[in-house]
Amino acid sequence: MARRKGLTFYQKKKKLNIYVVKEILSWIFWIFVSVLLAVVTVFCVGMKTSVIGSSMEPSLYNGQEIFLNRLVYKVASPRAGDVVVFLPNGNEKSHYYVKRVVGVPGDKLYIKSGMLYVNGEVVEVYFNDRIAEPGILENEVTLGEDEYFVIGDNCNSSEDSRSANVGTVRKSYIIGKAWMKLAAGDSDLGLIE
């Protein structure tokens, strides 16, 4: 029987292209994996806390929220210049302190004429002013195997390792490294340097 030419009311069925279906399913899978990885990273590695006080100004401000990396110090040790979050003397009833590491195990530190000396060299890159109160660094301090010395960037408005009631910080007291900060007034993230 011959086919008629002319009008037809039957639609031609479109075949599904298997390549397009595979590509769509692949995209859905990778989006799901990415979201799952982000959620796991935030809940298992990260943590959010707030800065209390003006001791880290101008780097961080009072009330500013920061994200921590809790995993980094399980595989590495804090380095000079890192901004860390810790509990003073491991006191779990205290609020989290946010300070900058200026001395690592084995370092010799002292303050003379408002300047911090680490291993005989002046360190002033972190501070916005000369240090008015040397505290326990009036005399040279040598850090032990598991001790870190921390000072706030706003050194004259900071309760830190110079104070006998805070003292040196053990690695086990450190909760994590300050990783990202929320900019004041909006939700923009910025890395902490």
Annotated active-site positions, please?
55, 99
In single-letter form, the type of residue at position 84 comes to V
CB-facing half-sphere around the CA of 78: CA atoms within 13 A = 33
Nearest to 152 by CA among 70, 51, 50: 51
In DSSP notation, 96-164 reads PEEEEEEE-TT-EEEEETTEEEETTEEE-SS-SS--S--GGGGS-EE--TTEEEEE-SSGGG--STTST
- Structural tokens at position 22: 């595979």
Rounded to the nearest 5°, which phi and psi values hold at 103? -140, 135
Amino acid at 116: L
Query: Token digits for 88?
Result: 């003073």
The phi and psi torsions of 42 (rounded to 5 degrees) equal -65, -45
Task: Kindly state the DSSP code that residue 178 receives in the 8-state scheme.
Answer: E
